[in-house]
Amino acid sequence: MSSCIAILNATLVDGTGRPPLPESVVVIRSGWFEAVGQAGEVPVPGDVETIDATGRYLIPGLFDCHMHIVGGPYRAIKTLRDTLAMGVTTVAHVGGFRAGAEAAALRDAIEQGLVGPCSRLVAGAVVAATAGHVMGRTADGPWEVRKAVREQRVANIDFIKTAASGGFWAEHEECWWRDYTYEELEALVDEAHAVGKPVAVHAHTQPGLNNAIRAGADMIHHGAFIDDEALRGIAERNIFFIPTLRVTSERNIAIKEQAGRPWEARKMREAHPIHREGVRKARALGIRIGVGTDLPSTPPWRAGQTAVELLELAACGFSPMETIIAATRTSAECLGKAHELGTIEPGKRADLILLDADPLVALSILTEERHIRMVIKDGEVAIRR
């Protein structure tokens, strides 16, 4: 396939929120969007390979802002290949694949074209409290936390992940437990921000939510028991919220029951209505919501769950257009990638999905491989069906 491509006549949903553009022209050159617009208004260069996409639909490549790429480098590569096949062109790793340095090395190998085709990786590194919810570089007390963040920045990771509350996973753990103290979170955020690294905080309940908000977190992940006070704080400080609704979904609760993990199912069932009401309120407040699944790349994991998360958002009142924006533009903003990714606009990296049906009419098509006719990442056709 040529490095210069023009996709003609598709209906374009560009991720910006603008209305769909029928009979579009999208010109890709050397991995970047060169020109985007209406047929007849955007000239098609004579040196490009053309793809007639009449009757089809273009959207930006999707993001998953919360995945655990686990099991070592070979499984990680397979996971990222599988996610790309379902239209997810960018994945944020929030812990699980060795240390931050190894995740950063895989990220760089993908960027250099040494591994592929697969989703690009945004590499997070975990700094964790002793006996806390998340696992990573253990550090306790503000100065030890600062040291841990400094160690992670040497690897040139993209962001720091930590926890402010307990979670669902462990049998003898509750979501309301405090994880890091406010003083520790404040030190962590300050040290990360000093070198331009954003901070993602796992937080389900109070006091963890308020501690993370007051400390200056850039992203709150989960919020399964989020309350009005936390929502106001997130809105006032313009923090990103990645709710990972899949975690407390009916399907996931059933999986936990079948897997013999009744404590997880119990906690998730309790959170289910609160989680969804919190997301409805977040939408009403204009909070910036990104998309993440909290999936580990181990069985029963399967590709396509990012689109299932979009259906969960839709069930909370998001329109199909709003869900696509959440999974593209807003998620790119969340990860600090909006200058180069997230929308189909000139000057951005050419990531897109070509669909055989209208996602604004039937969002569920994104969960089915057969509807994803083509995936382009960095201007190269990675998947063609």
Which H or E element spans position 149? helix 142-154
Contact 93, 102 (CB under 8 A): no
pLDDT for the residue numbered 3? 80
pLDDT for the residue numbered 303? 77
pLDDT for the residue numbered 299? 56
On the question of pLDDT at 302 being above 90, the answer is no
pLDDT per position as a tens digit, 12-22:
999 999 999 99
Number of domains the chain is built from: 2
**CA–CA separation, 235 and 215 (whole Å):** 15
On the question of pLDDT at 1 being above 60, the answer is no
Could you tell me if 271 and 299 lie in one domain? yes
Which H or E element spans position 43? none
Provide the residue range defining the domain that includes 54.
4-59+342-384
On the question of pLDDT at 318 being above 90, the answer is yes
Residue with tokens 């553009």: 21
What is the CA 263 to chain-centroid distance, rounded? 27
Asked whether residue 379 is domain-assigned, the answer is yes
pLDDT per position as a tens digit, 205-237:
999 999 999 999 999 999 999 999 999 999 999
pLDDT for the residue numbered 110? 95
Burial of 300 (0-12, 13-18, 19+ CB in 10 A): exposed
In this prediction, residues 112-122 reach a mean pLDDT of: 93
Mean pLDDT of all residues belonging to the chain: 95
Report which of residues 166 and 297 the model is more confident about: 166
Asked whether residue 328 is domain-assigned, the answer is no
pTM score of the predicted model: 0.96
Q: Which of 162-176, 195-209, 297-311 has the lowest mean pLDDT?
A: 297-311
**CATH of residue 360:** 2.30.40.10
Could you tell me if 27 and 70 lie in one domain? no
Confidence of residue 97 (pLDDT cuts 50, 70, 90): low
Confidence of residue 153 (pLDDT cuts 50, 70, 90): confident
pLDDT for the residue numbered 146? 98
Could you tell me if 295 and 371 lie in one domain? no
**CA–CA separation, 199 and 220 (whole Å):** 9
- 125: tokens are 């590194």
**CATH of residue 246:** 3.20.20.140
pLDDT for the residue numbered 382? 96
Could you tell me if 101 and 119 lie in one domain? yes
Could you tell me if 297 and 353 lie in one domain? no
Could you tell me if 43 and 119 lie in one domain? no
Backbone CA torsion sign across 163, 169, 170, 171: positive
Could you tell me if 29 and 125 lie in one domain? no
pLDDT for the residue numbered 281? 99
